[in-house]
Amino acid sequence: MSSIDMSRIRNEYARSGLAESDAGDDPIALFDVWMAEAVAAGLHEPTAMALATASPDGKPSVRIVLLKGIDGDGVRFYTNYESRKGEELESNPYAALTMLWHQIERQVRIEGTVARTSPGDSDAYFASRPHGSQLGAVASPQSRAIADRGVLDEHYADAAAAYPDGVSRPAYWGGYLVRPESVEFWQGRESRMHDRIKFTRAPSGWHRERLAP
């Protein structure tokens, strides 16, 4: 049993709310505003998001990835296609994302279908990464069991020796685009009476509704 009584850990939320007039009609526009405010607040890793996937038989898994772009087409992130998340997205191309910004008492939840980005998009992003991160993508057999840390360090040293000046994107590494079917904005309020505004994609654009907290 834990020595910490977690049932007594509570924090009050006290920021101003989220009204429909502030939410507007376009979730991507509102997301841009919230992201800019998260960055301006100096939050650590403001682009971090939980990515939930599921196996063909419905077993879920979740991990943290980094948002690398969002526009009218969807949400972009990059990873090893042969990782567990990559394998699950290939067999069950649907995902849920959550971004949590504790300091400004906000969450954003996104659910939608998933497809790989184009090779050109993946090449361009990979080329923009620091050389060390490029080497890491080559060195790490992501999600595979390895004997110890020494194996990983040896792989990295081998990659550094093989690619001293630059690395071409491996075929097993690239981007995914999550095309949102729903986007929910959560704003903390006093007494747990939080604001939740949800956008659902409709044939003519977006349908907006308020959810009870």
Q: Give 3's pLDDT tier (boundaries 50, 70, 90).
A: confident
Look-up of token digits 């060195």: 139
pLDDT at 5: 76
pLDDT at 6: 76
The residues that bridge with 201 in the sheet, in sequence order, are 206
Q: Give 16's pLDDT tier (boundaries 50, 70, 90).
A: confident
CATH fold label, 11-129+171-211? Pnp Oxidase; Chain A (2.30.110)
Q: How many helices (H) and strands (E) are present in the chain, helices listed first?
A: 6, 9
DSSP 170: P
* pLDDT surpassing 70 at residue 130: yes
List binding-site positions for FMN.
63-68, 78-79, 84-85, 107, 142-143, 186, 196
- Cα distances (angstroms) measured from residue 113 to each of 35, 55, 97, 128: 22, 14, 11, 26
Q: Confirm if 13 and 188 have CB atoms less than 8 A apart.
A: yes
List binding-site positions for substrate.
10-13, 68, 125, 129, 133, 192-194
Q: Which of 8, 15, 144, 192 is catalytic?
A: 192
Average pLDDT of 20-49? 97
Determine phi and psi for 40, rounding to 5 degrees: -65, -30
pLDDT in tens, 87-111: 999 999 999 999 999 999 999 999 9
Average pLDDT of 121-144? 94
* pLDDT surpassing 70 at residue 1: no
- How confident is the prediction for the chain on average, in pLDDT? 94
Helix (H, G, I), strand (E, B) or coil at 81: coil
179 an active-site residue? Answer: no
pLDDT at 2: 73
Q: Where are the beta strands (DSSP E) in the chain?
A: 48-54, 60-66, 69-71, 74-80, 94-101, 106-116, 173-187, 195-202, 205-211
